A and B are shown apart, each in its own frame.
Chain A
């Protein structure tokens, strides 16, 4: 790109000023305060407008800074060439951006380009204003080396457009820290913690489900026990009934035994009485046969008398008869009173049965009580299990929350990893596309500018620039201001090479050699002349010696 001419209507302290540019070196030697910086700013403003409109301080608010001192139309026009075509930009500024006007023409065809100035300028010149400032525009006081600055920082800054040294490294560090928070070696990190919490909760859920199964099993067992208990209770009841029946029977038997005894006694008494009576009669009647015989022998009178005598009641026999009758009467009365004489057989087995029954009763009662206790225990146990199992819903909710968190953490981890990957890739690309070529061209420019004086530079992949002098490697800080200026120029030039691959831009230099020793200046100027064979250079100075 080449500037052809400019016309300043009013800009800062410059008014109605026009200038025709040549290719190669254009030296503008004017005293300080003339407006060289203003001129440079004008060129920039034609392309990019005025920056810092919102800012209060004049230094950073270009609009305020360059508002014409004497009033009048604020702006002008600029004619330039780009890729073989000629253009003219006419730009005027108001109090605010909305009042600015911009027109761009094709100088051959007078065709107007209608679009947003930003769009046009970007489309044509491929770089935004920051890149322009960082490369093409070599302002005087900005970005000069301070005592503690390093070239690497400047190079990095120029490329990375950041303010921090090692910003890339810091960024990667922070990202890495985040990554490690999620996942660290040795199975640690947030994700691992979530996974173990998930496993833990799943175990708890399984335990709950097992508890449920336990509850079901307990229910079944309880049912069984209840069934058995009912059986036992029924049997117990039966046995108890048998026992009371047996007792009743025994009672009856006792009575019966008494009655049998009585019967036997009465019978025996009666029989005894009968026997005694019969015996007595027999005794009495024993006599009779001999007397009858006598009677037959003698005559009947004696027999008759004896017979009659025999018939007379014996008092003993009478008594016996009375006893017999009494006892017979008692006996028959007794028999009448009892309905069933034949039932007077004692069931001897009763005594035996009662004991067996009683033993059985004890056994059954024990079993029943045991079953009752076991059922109660089972029920209580089931209840406890059920309550614990009821926590299942809580655990399920926890599990869901944990799984959500884990998915979230994994997603974030994924993103951080991608970010690191792309950042590293970006760094590599920048290196490849800019830094490496810059290192190369820096070398060439150092040759041109310093005439071998800057020999022995060493630049590593982190853009750390060091120089070897007398066998020692020293940082750039060790060089004097003049040397550092040269280095600055070389850096910018190499950056321009990297940034503007097709069309070389013009370069505006605002007294770059102000710090150089006099003897160095001539070689610097020679270098400049050589440079101007490649670039159109607009070179400002205020001293003849640097012309």
Chain B
């Protein structure tokens, strides 16, 4: 029997803030479509049920369009059950008439059985410390438990969003399907089971780079296996370009090209400069990045982490305005990146070159 574990879809939510309005709308549509593809995948691959471990939406106030889209997709996949656990953002979205294969977990433990597998889920409420004790599982069955929150072994009492792993140990849990962390992550729960975050289905901003997708949980008899399946329509990448030793802009651009060589054209790119540069280095990549936007779906400049190599000794005896200026700035005790920026401004201004 096969199940899909997914979470944190955040459909209809905010995208990377520098996308154009059109692109942001397009990305939203793509995210909805990825959910549709997930349902199609489930139908084609004999998936018994899809577990959505929370945060399908960003807020309970979701547009009718999005809500109906989701329900339509579910209704059109009648042979797959969709088990939905509301997260910390999206409780109360699904009310009223719902498709029969759409099932929700409530505030207490609810159990759904499929063959020899039981899927249990409950929302974490504040001050409900006893929730773990109320979980009743049959040790002879294969038990999947789904919750939404931050895994921790300490279980801070003041935060409703902590999933206390220790409290879930020795309760016959085979697979703990978690939501809340947006990247695929897995670990050992106890001798019998493991915990797993499926991560989000598709990245929305550059804090969600790399492969995103869902987890297939396969139960054969009493054994349970899981596998991450990358499924995003588009990926986001944060690309570092080390400009150490380079001076001409063409060299810097070539290095960037090199770093981008294997990246899919349909991706979103953030370029970050690292390494060391000198006062002769031209690293103004603004024009280059504009050009990138024509070749990739989206590109932007990230934080410039490169550092100016300049030492007091170099300028200790330079009797000139430039020398004096640099000495003053070096002595001023500014934050490193600011110091570099100020020096570059000054040098370029004196050289008659374009500032910033």
* Cross-interface CB contact of B345 among A131, A161, A215, A416, cutoff 8 Å: A416
List residues of chain A with CB within 8 A of the CB of B349.
170-172, 174-175, 419, 423
B63–A401 contact, CB under 8 A? Answer: no
Q: Which residue of B lies closest to A172 (CB)?
A: B349
B168 at the interface (CB under 8 A from A): no
Chain B contacts with A in 330-356, Cβ cutoff 8 A? 332, 334, 338, 341-342, 345-346, 349-350, 352, 355-356
B190 at the interface (CB under 8 A from A): no
B58 at the interface (CB under 8 A from A): yes
B325–A423 contact, CB under 8 A? Answer: yes
B127 at the interface (CB under 8 A from A): no
List residues of chain A with CB within 8 A of the CB of B61.
212, 215, 386, 389
A245 at the interface (CB under 8 A from B): no
List residues of chain B with CB within 8 A of the CB of A390.
12, 63, 65-66
Distance A175 CA – B18 CA, assembled complex (angstroms)? 28
A160–B320 contact, CB under 8 A? Answer: yes
A397–B319 contact, CB under 8 A? Answer: no
Distance A393 CA – B327 CA, assembled complex (angstroms)? 48
List residues of chain B with CB within 8 A of the CB of A172.
349
Q: Which residue of B lies closest to A171 (CB)?
A: B349
Distance A394 CA – B15 CA, assembled complex (angstroms)? 8
* Cross-interface CB contact of A419 among B63, B65, B342, cutoff 8 Å: B342
Proximity bits, B209-240, A CB within 8 Å = 1, else 0: 00000000000000000000000000000000
B72 at the interface (CB under 8 A from A): no
Distance A170 CA – B332 CA, assembled complex (angstroms)? 24
A161–B318 contact, CB under 8 A? Answer: yes
B317–A425 contact, CB under 8 A? Answer: no
B305 at the interface (CB under 8 A from A): no
Which of A229-237, A311-319, A354-362, A427-435 is the contact stretch?
A427-435
Assuming A401-B18, A430-B324, is B346 touching A423 (CB within 8 A)?
yes
Assuming A131-B317, A393-B58, is B328 touching A429 (CB within 8 A)?
yes
Distance A396 CA – B61 CA, assembled complex (angstroms)? 15
List residues of chain B with CB within 8 A of the CB of A389.
61, 63
> Nearest chain A CB to B30's CB is how many angstroms away?
15
* Cross-interface CB contact of A422 among B66, B342, B356, cutoff 8 Å: B342
A175–B355 contact, CB under 8 A? Answer: yes
The number of residues on chain A lying at the interface, defined by a beta carbon within 8 Å of a beta carbon of chain B, is 50
Proximity bits, B179-204, A CB within 8 Å = 1, else 0: 00000000000000000000000000
List residues of chain A with CB within 8 A of the CB of B18.
401, 404
Assuming A122-B317, A419-B345, A423-B349, is B14 touching A393 (CB within 8 A)?
yes
> Nearest chain A CB to B92's CB is how many angstroms away?
12
Assuming A159-B321, A423-B349, is B13 touching A404 (CB within 8 A)?
no
Distance A318 CA – B201 CA, assembled complex (angstroms)? 113
Chain A contacts with B in 150-198, Cβ cutoff 8 A? 159-162, 164, 167-168, 170-172, 174-175, 178
> Nearest chain B CB to A212's CB is how many angstroms away?
5
Proximity bits, A63-85, B CB within 8 Å = 1, else 0: 00000000000000000000000
Proximity bits, A360-397, B CB within 8 Å = 1, else 0: 00000000000000000000000100110110011011
Distance A128 CA – B317 CA, assembled complex (angstroms)? 7
* Cross-interface CB contact of B63 among A159, A387, A430, cutoff 8 Å: A387
Assuming A167-B350, A397-B14, is B24 touching A427 (CB within 8 A)?
no
B338–A418 contact, CB under 8 A? Answer: yes
Q: Chain A at the B interface: mostly helix, strand, loop or mixed?
A: helix
A434–B342 contact, CB under 8 A? Answer: no
Q: Which residue of B lies closest to A127 (CB)?
A: B317
Assuming A396-B14, A416-B345, A499-B319, is B356 touching A425 (CB within 8 A)?
no
Distance A162 CA – B320 CA, assembled complex (angstroms)? 8
Assuming A401-B18, A429-B328, is B317 touching A126 (CB within 8 A)?
yes
B16–A397 contact, CB under 8 A? Answer: yes
A252 at the interface (CB under 8 A from B): no
> Nearest chain B CB to A381's CB is how many angstroms away?
13
* Cross-interface CB contact of A175 among B21, B320, B338, B345, cutoff 8 Å: B345
Chain A contacts with B in 415-446, Cβ cutoff 8 A? 415-416, 418-419, 422-423, 425-427, 429-430, 434
B45 at the interface (CB under 8 A from A): no
B320–A412 contact, CB under 8 A? Answer: no
Distance A45 CA – B255 CA, assembled complex (angstroms)? 39
Proximity bits, A121-138, B CB within 8 Å = 1, else 0: 010001110010000000
Distance A419 CA – B14 CA, assembled complex (angstroms)? 38
Distance A415 CA – B328 CA, assembled complex (angstroms)? 14
> Nearest chain A CB to B177's CB is how many angstroms away?
27
* Cross-interface CB contact of B334 among A127, A393, A418, cutoff 8 Å: A418
A223 at the interface (CB under 8 A from B): no
Distance A329 CA – B321 CA, assembled complex (angstroms)? 144
Among B65, B334, B350, find the residue whose CB has the most chain A CB atoms closer than 10 A: B350
A503 at the interface (CB under 8 A from B): no
B17 at the interface (CB under 8 A from A): yes
List residues of chain B with CB within 8 A of the CB of A61.
none
Assuming A126-B317, A175-B349, is B325 touching A426 (CB within 8 A)?
yes
B89 at the interface (CB under 8 A from A): no
B318–A415 contact, CB under 8 A? Answer: no
B64 at the interface (CB under 8 A from A): yes
Distance A393 CA – B28 CA, assembled complex (angstroms)? 10
Among B327, B329, B345, find the residue whose CB has the most chain A CB atoms closer than 10 A: B345
B322 at the interface (CB under 8 A from A): yes
B75 at the interface (CB under 8 A from A): no
List residues of chain B with CB within 8 A of the CB of A430.
320-321, 324
Q: Which residue of B lies closest to A167 (CB)?
A: B350
A398 at the interface (CB under 8 A from B): yes
> Nearest chain A CB to B340's CB is how many angstroms away?
9
List residues of chain B with CB within 8 A of the CB of A425.
325, 328
List residues of chain A with CB within 8 A of the CB of B322.
160-162
List residues of chain B with CB within 8 A of the CB of A412.
341, 356
A400 at the interface (CB under 8 A from B): yes
Distance A480 CA – B352 CA, assembled complex (angstroms)? 33
Q: Which residue of B lies closest to A395 (CB)?
A: B14
Assuming A386-B63, A393-B13, A397-B14, is B317 touching A426 (CB within 8 A)?
no
Can you show 22 pairs from A to B with CB atoms below 8 A apart? Answer: A126-B317, A128-B317, A160-B320, A161-B319, A167-B352, A178-B345, A389-B63, A390-B65, A390-B66, A393-B14, A394-B21, A397-B16, A399-B17, A400-B17, A412-B356, A416-B345, A422-B329, A423-B321, A423-B350, A426-B321, A429-B324, A430-B320
Q: B residues bordering A, Cβ < 8 Å?
A: 12-19, 21, 24-25, 28, 58, 61, 63-66, 317-325, 327-329, 332, 334, 338, 341-342, 345-346, 349-350, 352, 355-356
Q: With A161-B318, A426-B325 given, name 16 new contacts (CB 8 A).
A: A161-B319, A168-B321, A171-B352, A174-B352, A175-B346, A175-B349, A383-B64, A387-B64, A389-B61, A394-B25, A400-B17, A415-B338, A422-B332, A425-B325, A427-B321, A427-B324
Q: A residues bordering B, Cβ < 8 Å?
A: 122, 126-128, 131, 159-162, 164, 167-168, 170-172, 174-175, 178, 212, 215, 383, 386-387, 389-390, 393-394, 396-401, 404, 411-412, 414-416, 418-419, 422-423, 425-427, 429-430, 434, 499
